[in-house]
Amino acid sequence: MDDREIVELYIERNPDAINETASKYGGYCTSIARNILGSDEDAQECVNDTYLNTWNSIPPNRPSVLSTYLGKITRNISFDRFRRRRADKRGGGEYELVLDELAECVSGADSVEQEVERKELVLAINSFLDTLSQDKCNIFLCRYWYAFPVSRIASSFGISEGNVSVTLSRIRGKLKKYLTERGYDI
């Protein structure tokens, strides 16, 4: 089933949408969650949350690229889980609980100014990515968007792990310079 048909199932509120999504993109989402969390069990829970979140967000959303839409949700959920897990490991359980309880009192949304700044920063990073060759852009996003291990990137792109690390290091340096020159304090 093609992506457009799957999205239509969501729009029609047909539960088959989730089965079709799981069948086509289950592995893709699991891979992203596992990259970030390093645990199959946690990854599977995040992927299940991704399906629920997708069900709740389409409609009103109608994604043009379903894979990236799902990937972005998986990435955000996995990252949130990672942060909670790390906080727990630090023994900050109560602190995190207190913060979570207080979170109910606030909107959780950034101020308009922060949101504008964030969007401008996203645009700046997009322009930076445009300055990279397609391969380097892909390597950067495989690492920092999909969180693939360096070894996997190396084997997939047919270059050594050292080469990937050096490439990433150079791109990070260029990104920092690019953003600093444009007034971002990173």
Partner 1 sequence: MKKEELFSVIGEVDEQKVAAAGEAIAKTKKRRSLWLRLGALAACLCLVTAGAFIIHSVLGKTNAGKENVIVVNEAENFMIIDIYAQITYYAPDEEGLVSKFKDITGLNYYKFIKKIPDTYVLGYLYAYDLYDFESDNGQYIPHDFVLNYQHEKSGSVRIAICSIEAPLSDLMYFSDSELQPSVINGVEVYIQSFEHVFAASFTYEDINYDIETKNITLEELENLLVEIIS
Considering only 14-22, 47-55, 64-72, 93-101, which stretch makes contact with partner 1 by CB under 8 A?
Answer: 64-72
Q: Which is nearer to partner 1, 22 or 149 (CB)?
A: 149
Long-range pairs of 85-94 with CB within 8 A, sequence gap ≥ 24 = 85/37, 85/42
Considering only 38-46, 50-58, 67-75, 91-99, which stretch makes contact with partner 1 by CB under 8 A?
Answer: 67-75
| CB environment 106-121: b (16+ within 10 A), e (fewer) | eeeeeeeeeeeeeeee
Q: Which is nearer to partner 1, 18 or 72 (CB)?
A: 72
- Identify the residue among 118, 170, 177, 182 touching partner 1 (CB under 8 A): 118
Binding of residue 4 to partner 1 (CB under 8 A) = no
Tokens representing 2 are 């093609």
Considering only 4-12, 43-51, 66-74, 87-95, which stretch makes contact with partner 1 by CB under 8 A?
Answer: 66-74
Nearest to 156 by CA among 177, 135, 172, 170: 135
